Amino acid sequence: MNKHAIEHRPKSSYCYAYDEETIHIRLRAAKNDVKSVTLIYGDKYQWEDCKEIEMEASYFDHLFQYFAVAIKPVNNRLAYYFKIEGIDEILFYTEGGLVKNIDNKYLIFLQFQYPYLNKADIHITPDWVRDTVFYSIFPERFYNGNSLINPDPLTPWGQKPTYMDFYGGDLEGIIKKIEHLQTLGVNAIYLTPIFHSPTNHKYDTIDYFKVDPHFGDLDTLKRLVTECHQRNIKVVLDAVFNHSGYLFLPFQDVIEKGSKSKYYDWFHIKKWPIEHEPPSYDTFAFVASMPKLNTQNPEVREYLLKVGRYWIEEADIDGWRLDVSDEIDHEFWRHFRSTVRTVKPDIFIIGEVWHDPSPWLKGDQFDAVMNYTFLRNCIGYFANEELSDLQFKEYTNEMLMKNTQQGNEVSFNLLDSHDTPRFLTRCRGDIKKLLLAATFQLTFIGAPSIYYGTEIGMEGGADPDCRRTMEWNTNNWNIEIFNYYKNLLAVRRKYKALRRGNFKWENYEGILAYSRAIPGEKVIVMINNHNSIKTINFSNEDFRGFKDIYTEKPEVIDKLELKPYSSRIFIKLEKHN
């Protein structure tokens, strides 16, 4: 047995409470090295009644096979260890390591433990997110709905953006184009920052309590949210708490008064009078216009928590996306979660974390992060074709196994954002590749997010080019892409299996395939990410009852051809009790 590969740790993605009565247990072993894993489990105070259950060989990645099981402990207490049957030997994996036999005199030291399933420790993620497709909007570039509040000067709509120019998009514009969201079929919008700020991106806040005057006012925002809610569309705003803008009054006060300012400790001032090149204060990256806030100062914390509460109470928003969230202390986010959930218990909290998000997804901080690992895998597989079907599957599985199931269920899965090149541009304009990636994104576990314009074939490189103005002349739309998205979203809405079904890879040679299933409803997705026709041979048994999800025509076939860079989605409905 490859002993070095065996891994398990309680109170991690290997062992966590899924709901009020269920604990999920996972064990990692080397791939193709272990025949079976049995969990021996019980109540530590009544171990004589311990039970055994065989774990399921679930996901695998490049090196490892994961085994999984769900346990409902009778008295909320769970003690356990593993019996691992390898090719050549049987070993027990315990908190004391791998042993040949369980020496009962050391039993208490050998048991792993999830000592008590307390409700307060469960990571409860908002249920509605499981049924949600997000649409991400950079408001300055979406639609100019109110020319009375245009910035001056105004660059003509449609020009190639620079870092500094303004086009006049505003909140009224989103209200006016709400029908587009409905036609497309999304049911949530995420807006990059909308509070008072001198820039087009508004990541350098002047006033956290004021809608930017070029975007509208409190009333416009309230109307936007109301119009959205009337259409069952949720609204998520962007909280920029890592840093303020240079013009934020407390920072201006510090510039003026130095250590005599009551806001001196709101920032990290290294030298006064303030210098800018380089900044004599901590900043976001090395950007002088974005002084880092001291979120460890209780006054700053209270101020920002008030911001968090205010927009829920005033405008009834449904979620917060947290800018540069990984550079703020965890303690702040714990206060944030408990504060905003007190106001709205099913508020959705999405952190911006580009790397391993697990330190933030334990239940005390965020519900999800912008899933850039998902993006990385899609770039490697769909856009660049540097990953094989198997490798993509392995990377995807590794991503799933790094997090809990409830985390994966609400993961904010994106192909592009205001911080990345557009996916179609990464695909060098190859529409087929974008559509394959979108197929995966919209049929995978999690909450997909579509970056405005991607659904009509907009292109754009890195910032600022990915922030082009939205194309509203439908003659310039790629209707193939738009219809594809529209239809895909429609079937996702129609079939619960596509939103909440259990995800499982399916084995069909030469392609990527997986299923999503709930009782009575099973969807199979087949993706041919290759430049050649792939032929799938079924026994009739195999595929009986499956219909094309769009045409709803039965496929009575024993073989199926998938064209290069194409996909098919099938569904089978059955009565169940």
Radius of gyration of the chain (CA): 26
Distance between CA 566 and CA 433 in Å, rounded?
8
- Give least dist CB 90 to its own copies, A: 18
- Give least dist CB 336 to its own copies, A: 13
Which of positions 28-47 make contact with its own copies (CB under 8 A)? Answer: 30, 45-46
Task: From the candidates 170, 204, 212, 323, give the one annotated as an active-site residue.
Answer: 323
Measured CA to CA in angstroms, residue 212 lies from 229, 358, 394 at distances of 22, 34, 45
Helix, strand or coil, per DSSP, at residue 523: strand
Closest CA to 28 of 72, 62, 76, 53: 62
Q: Is the peptide bond before 554 cis (omega within 30 degrees of 0)?
A: no
163 lies in the binding site for its own copies (CB under 8 A): no
Residue 398: in which H helix or E strand, if any? helix 389-401
106 lies in the binding site for its own copies (CB under 8 A): yes
Distance between CA 461 and CA 541 in Å, rounded?
48
Nearer to its own copies, 85 or 364 (CB): 364
Nearer to its own copies, 9 or 51 (CB): 9
252 lies in the binding site for its own copies (CB under 8 A): no
Q: Which range, of 82-90, 104-112, 250-258, 463-471, touches its own copies by CB under 8 A?
A: 104-112
288 lies in the binding site for its own copies (CB under 8 A): no
Given candidates 160, 271, 355, 494, which one binds its own copies under the rule CB under 8 A?
Answer: 355
Chain CA centroid to CA 62, Å? 23
Nearer to its own copies, 4 or 576 (CB): 4
Given candidates 32, 54, 72, 97, which one binds its own copies under the rule CB under 8 A?
Answer: 97
Q: How far apart are the first and last CA of the chain?
A: 43
Q: What's the token pair of residue 159?
A: 């020009």
121 lies in the binding site for its own copies (CB under 8 A): yes
DSSP conformation class of 468? P
In 32-149, DSSP assigns E strands to 34-42, 51-54, 56-60, 64-71, 78-86, 90-94, 97-99, 112-114, 134-137
Which of positions 55-84 make contact with its own copies (CB under 8 A)? Answer: 62-64, 75-77
Nearer to its own copies, 68 or 375 (CB): 375
Measured CA to CA in angstroms, residue 317 lies from 228, 303, 344, 458 at distances of 10, 19, 9, 28
Number of amino acids touching its own copies (CB under 8 A):
58
Residue 434: in which H helix or E strand, if any? helix 431-443
Catalytic annotation on 165?
A: no
Given candidates 187, 244, 261, 295, which one binds its own copies under the rule CB under 8 A?
Answer: 295
Helix, strand or coil, per DSSP, at residue 280: coil
Nearer to its own copies, 282 or 346 (CB): 282
- Give least dist CB 249 to its own copies, A: 24
Which of positions 308-347 make contact with its own copies (CB under 8 A)? Answer: 326-332, 334
Nearer to its own copies, 308 or 357 (CB): 357
Half-sphere exposure of 26 (CA within 13 A, CB side): 23
Contact 297, 266 (CB under 8 A): yes
Binding mask 180-199 for its own copies (x = CB under 8 A): --------------------
Task: From the candidates 172, 352, 394, 398, give the one annotated as an active-site residue.
Answer: 352
Q: Which range, of 125-133, 259-267, 376-384, 478-486, touches its own copies by CB under 8 A?
A: 376-384
Which of positions 382-441 make contact with its own copies (CB under 8 A)? Answer: 398
Measured CA to CA in angstroms, residue 88 lies from 1, 33, 97, 102, 483 at distances of 7, 9, 18, 19, 55
Distance between CA 529 and CA 399 in Å, rounded?
20
Half-sphere exposure of 305 (CA within 13 A, CB side): 21
- Give least dist CB 326 to its own copies, A: 4
- Give least dist CB 428 to its own copies, A: 14
Catalytic annotation on 352?
A: yes
- Give least dist CB 79 to its own copies, A: 9
Interaction site with its own copies (CB under 8 A): 2-5, 7, 9-11, 30, 45-46, 62-64, 75-77, 95-97, 106, 108-109, 111-113, 115-116, 118-121, 282, 285-286, 295-296, 326-332, 334, 353-356, 358-359, 364, 372-373, 376, 379-380, 398
Q: Which residues are catalytic?
A: 323, 352
